[in-house]
Amino acid sequence: MAGLNETHDPNLQCWLAASAGSDFPIQNLPFGSFRRRGGSEAFRVGVAIGDQVLDVPALLAAGALDGEAAAAARLCGNATLNALMAAGPARQSALRLALSRGLREGSPQQSRFSACLIPQSLVELALPAQVGDFTDFYASIHHATRVGRLFRPDNPLMPNYQWLPVAYHGRSSSIRVSGGLAQRPRGQLKGPNDAVPRLALSERIDYELELGFHVGVPTQSGETVPVDEAESHLFGVSLLNDWSARDIQAWEYQPLGPFLAKNFATHVSPWVVTMEALEPYRAAWDRPADHPAPLAHLESAANRSRGAIDITIEAWIQTERMRAQGLPAERLSRSTFAHSYWTVAQMLTHHASNGCNLVAGDLLGTGTQSGPRLDEAGCLLELTEGGRTPVVLADGESRRFVDDGDTIIFRGYCEREGCVRIGLGECAATIVAAAA
């Protein structure tokens, strides 16, 4: 946990006026992969500032960077962030500092930086990293309890839940960047009164409001990671929607967990907000006094004092009818990662506790992030109480689960008194009918 430095100063102003009030002020500076839309140029690494993208390789070529910042920028000519992620916090921080200084009001570098800006409206964004492995956790006790109660009213939490960060190994090949489509999947379905299962289209598509943390510095096979060093192996965070087919899931998940219900699509937002940018939004982490304390390898004073991160996350819906009528998206729920039962440091430490090697670009999903109130539920399975109570939208439509043509939009941001609000942008995708 790096602590605050001059890049977090809430009094900093960017000479780019459009950055004020946006998700991407000078205190944020998230990284992503981009190229100009409509051309044949290669994808490369850029930084979001206001409504613009700062072309990092172009900035390097213009001679605007030197020292460790230039060394980090030389890793940004690739189509993904993986090389920069692997370089480690010191080199990443040097680049962030140089970019911050060049974008500040009064910077002597303004003309060089200005020449390397491209409007976001003119660029195409790609997956920020090549994801080798995807691990999805189940870190919200409110989500686990509410969903568990639907199926096990007398014993909603499994015996291991309070002792370890439960997770499953997901599929990386179907992870896509925000703005795309997801086809309604087929799978085996079996209702409680069906004698045999059948192969059919899912009727219970659901979103899962999550965060995705990107691994940076890799580990070697057999290496473990102390909890106080875990975040030095993380690069940053994106929004993540791990789409779920609840009816397929209900039939297939025992005994080995999710399979076809989850692997048809996962969407992530294109901008990665660095761990350094999140520093002002740290919070104390704790759990109820009557719950067991974590085992020693998952416990530390630093993790207790500031291991939580207050990231507000929201789920919105825009139906096909709403789009046709020119109506804006409607918010379904809002929660915060500060509610998480496990910190991201504990998740990574547990992941590596058996010697599992982590690779730059690996993606750690937090699992659905829900709060204690129903309006903080991070999926329709919770909001509709298993489909029994539909959500009624302002235009009169109702939803038990996601219909074809529905666009689900995730938004995320951090705000705190005395700090500048920073955003994670959007993760949006639309469910469409399956191919014939």
**Contact assessment for residue 298 and residue 356, using Cβ atoms and an 8 Å cutoff:** no
Instruction: Provide the CA 236 distance to its chain's centre, in angstroms.
Output: 9
Counting Cα atoms < 13 Å in the Cβ hemisphere of 172 gives 15
CB distance 401 to 205 below 8 Å: yes
Determine the 3-state secondary structure of 191 from DSSP.
coil
Catalytic residue list: 143
The DSSP H or E segment spanning 99 is helix 89-103
Q: Quick one: residue 412, left, alpha or beta (phi over 0 = left, psi -120 to 50 = alpha)?
A: beta
CA distances from 175 to 122, 178, 189, 406 (A): 24, 10, 24, 19
CA–chain centroid gap for 408, Å, is 14
Q: Are 182 and 432 in contact (CB under 8 A)?
A: yes
Q: Burial code of 82-121, b = ≥16 C-beta within 10 A, e = fewer?
A: bbbbbbbbebbbbbbbbbbbbbbeebebbebbeebbbebe
**Structure token digits, residue 96:** 């962030």
Question: Longest C-alpha distance within the chain, in Å?
Answer: 75
Distance CA 84, CA 77 (A): 10
Spell out the residues 6+ positions from residue 115 whose beta carbon is closer than 8 angstroms to its own. 58, 62
Rounded distance, CA 166 to CA 378, Å? 18
Selection from 82, 32, 76, 33 nearest residue 57 by Cα: 76
